[in-house]
């Protein structure tokens, strides 16, 4: 008589997670077009440039995006991302605040400022909901905490230092007190979040390397402009991919340059973009918000 069969339960070993796979997964998720930052609704001044005829085909669109990435908002965003990433790695809230404020302040037009701030708020809100990180939570609570007003007594300090013949001391005192007053006025719920600063800080908390964060951010930035050009009807799908292929050295070069660039070199020079953004503010018919 055969022995009775016994049911066997197989317990599989848990999958071994390759090193860095979590960081890569989050990078891909956060930069996916499906991540709800609202990037699809902004053209970054491109809509006005197309309406004016400055951008009209594949070649001109490629040149426009290359200039924005290497010399315009892409360059400034890369520097802000670097500073925020390093600040988060060091656990330095003050340095992160500084990077965020710089990213907010250096916007030439209201629409470009809205684009960065709206995406920053949306990214941070979604990231906190799905991938909560203690450092980001503490930073948000710190920003939202009300600060007491600080009096700015510029007159006495200026006259005293000037009387002693120390003009540099007077300017230093003036700058310091004005900066403290600005901090008291701006710190709080209405300060705003720069998208590149929020992304850089979140990437650091997730263990995403600075090189990967920069390359991914700038590639997504360029791809969104290509998508805007496609929806505005000046290129097709294949030409869009040709542009992204041609921009590969531009994006990789911009990311590499940001890592070694010092704070004194912060800034951009994209006057055509600034003018296009200003024109877009009063454009009669629009598909995009910038």
Contacts of 122 (CB under 8 A, 6+ apart): 36, 37, 38
- Asked whether 198 and 84 are in contact (CB, 8 A), the reply is yes
Q: What is the pLDDT of residue 144?
A: 72
Q: How many domains does the chain have?
A: 2
Question: Is 69 domain-assigned?
Answer: yes
Domain boundary among 157, 186, 215: 186
Q: What is the pLDDT of residue 108?
A: 87
Same domain assignment for residues 180 and 200: no
Same domain assignment for residues 170 and 248: no
CATH classification of the domain holding 140: 1.10.4190.10
> Model pTM?
0.80
Same domain assignment for residues 205 and 74: yes
Same domain assignment for residues 86 and 162: no
Question: Is 13 domain-assigned?
Answer: no
Question: Is 16 domain-assigned?
Answer: no
Domain boundary among 186, 216, 241: 186
The b/e string for 28-40 (b: 16+ C-beta within 10 A; e otherwise) is eebbeeebebebe
Question: Is 30 domain-assigned?
Answer: no
Same domain assignment for residues 155 and 73: no
Q: Report residue 59 as tokens.
A: 């070649």
Question: Is 255 domain-assigned?
Answer: yes
Q: Report residue 57 as tokens.
A: 């085909």
Same domain assignment for residues 64 and 172: no
Residue with tokens 């965020």: 100
Question: Is 225 exposed, middle or buried, given 0-12, 13-18 or 19+ CB atoms closer than 10 A?
Answer: buried
Note down pLDDT in tens along the chain; length 290 residues.
555 554 443 333 433 445 568 999 999 999 999 999 988 888 888 988 999 999 999 999 999 999 999 999 999 999 999 999 999 999 998 999 999 999 999 998 999 988 899 999 999 999 999 999 999 999 888 877 655 443 333 333 333 333 333 333 332 332 333 333 333 333 444 578 999 999 999 999 999 999 999 999 999 999 999 999 999 999 999 999 999 999 999 999 999 999 999 988 988 888 888 888 888 888 888 887 77
Q: What is the pLDDT of residue 269?
A: 85
Q: Give backbone dihedrals phi and psi of 234, rounded to 5 degrees, phi first.
A: -95, -10
Same domain assignment for residues 244 and 220: yes
Residue (of 121, 116, 126, 132) closest to 44 by Cα position: 116
- Asked whether 196 and 123 are in contact (CB, 8 A), the reply is no
Same domain assignment for residues 138 and 167: no
Same domain assignment for residues 172 and 68: no
Same domain assignment for residues 92 and 182: no
CA 43, CA 55: separation in Å to the nearest integer? 13
Question: Is 275 domain-assigned?
Answer: yes
Question: Is 268 domain-assigned?
Answer: yes
Element (H, E) at 178: helix 167-186
Range of the domain at 256: 41-144+194-281
Q: What is the pLDDT of residue 141?
A: 86
Q: Give backbone dihedrals phi and psi of 12, rounded to 5 degrees, phi first.
A: -75, 145
Same domain assignment for residues 159 and 238: no
Contacts of 183 (CB under 8 A, 6+ apart): 147, 150
Residue (of 117, 54, 111) closest to 290 by Cα position: 111
Same domain assignment for residues 155 and 258: no
Domain boundary among 165, 186, 207: 186
């Amino acid at each position: 008589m055969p022995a009775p069969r016994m049911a066997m339960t197989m317990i599989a070993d848990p999958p071994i997670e390759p090193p860095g796979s979590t960081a890569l997964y989050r990078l891909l998720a956060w930069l996916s077009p499906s991540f709800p930052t609202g990037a699809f609704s902004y053209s970054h001044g491109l809509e006005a440039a197309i309406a004016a005829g400055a951008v009209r085909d594949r070649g001109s669109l490629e040149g426009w995006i290359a200039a924005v990435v290497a010399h315009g908002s892409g360059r400034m965003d890369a520097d802000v991302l670097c500073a925020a990433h390093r600040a988060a790695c060091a656990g330095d809230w003050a340095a992160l605040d500084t990077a965020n404020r710089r990213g907010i302040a250096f916007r030439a037009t209201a629409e470009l400022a809205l684009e960065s701030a709206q995406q920053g708020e949306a990214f941070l809100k979604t990231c906190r909901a799905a991938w909560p990180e203690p450092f980001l939570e503490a930073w948000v609570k710190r920003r939202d905490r009300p600060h007491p007003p600080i009096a700015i007594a510029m007159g006495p300090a200026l006259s005293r230092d000037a009387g002693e013949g120390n003009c540099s001391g007077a300017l230093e005192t003036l700058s310091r007190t004005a900066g403290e007053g600005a901090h008291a006025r701006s710190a709080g719920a209405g300060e705003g979040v720069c998208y590149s600063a929020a992304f850089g800080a979140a990437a650091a908390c997730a263990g995403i390397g600075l090189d990967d964060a920069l390359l991914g951010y700038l590639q997504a930035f360029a791809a969104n402009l290509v998508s805007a050009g496609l929806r505005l009807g000046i290129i097709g799908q294949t030409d869009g991919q040709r542009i992204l292929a041609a921009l590969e050295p531009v994006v990789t070069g911009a990311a590499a340059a940001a890592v070694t660039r010092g704070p004194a070199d912060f800034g951009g020079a994209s006057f055509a973009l600034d003018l296009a953004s200003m024109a877009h503010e009063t454009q009669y018919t629009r598909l995009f918000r910038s």
